[in-house]
Amino acid sequence: MENTKSDIEIIRSIIAGDKTAFKALYQRYARKHMLTCLRYAQSRADAEDLLQESYIKIYKDLHQFKPEKAKFGTWSNKVIVNTCLMKLRKKNIFTSIENVEEKTKDIQTKENALDKLSLKELTYLIAQLPDGYRTIFNMFVIDGYSHKEISELLNISINTSKTQLLKAKKTLQKKIKSREAIVPNSV
């Protein structure tokens, strides 16, 4: 029974040629990975496409996974995030971002405003953000990237990363304050 096997045992089975073992790995992590995709995508359909594309990459690159360096969940989540970022780069969402640091110096955000939301509400609100805001917010707040790492990964300036984060937070605050945090049943 695959459910009782560790990630490492399942991965060894997959690498040894057991194609059915990948289903066990998928079932173990797909829900968590889908939540990550939903945070980067604008719709459930886009998130499902990202998840499928990510799992193809995971399957192809599974031999590169080094259990002594990271847990599978951590490694696979990086693959998921990178797949989402590559898709956003292809859409060129960052080419039109202007550096408006001077215009946004006075923007202040309330750090605890998002703490009062459920995960479902937060995921819904994040999905409503414009692509650039959503990507920076996800990378910085949820995935833990620094502004320097974000700037390198997305080929944007550190100031642009900071500005987009401030705008994302301000937009989320406005939505929360204006009661737009009501989540439709289909989410």
Q: What does the pLDDT read at residue 1?
A: 47
Show the domains of the chain with their CATH numbers.
2-90 (1.10.1740.10), 102-177 (1.10.10.10)
Give me the pLDDT at residue 115, please: 53
Q: Which residues of the chain have pLDDT under 70?
A: 1-3, 91-117, 119, 178-187
Contact 38, 127 (CB under 8 A): yes
User: What does the pLDDT look like over 119-172, one tens digit per residue?
Assistant: 677 778 888 888 889 999 988 988 888 999 998 888 899 999 999 999 999 998
On the CB side of 186, CA atoms within 13 Å amount to 3
Q: CA–CA separation, 50 vs 37, rounded Å?
A: 6
Q: What single DSSP character describes residue 65? A: -
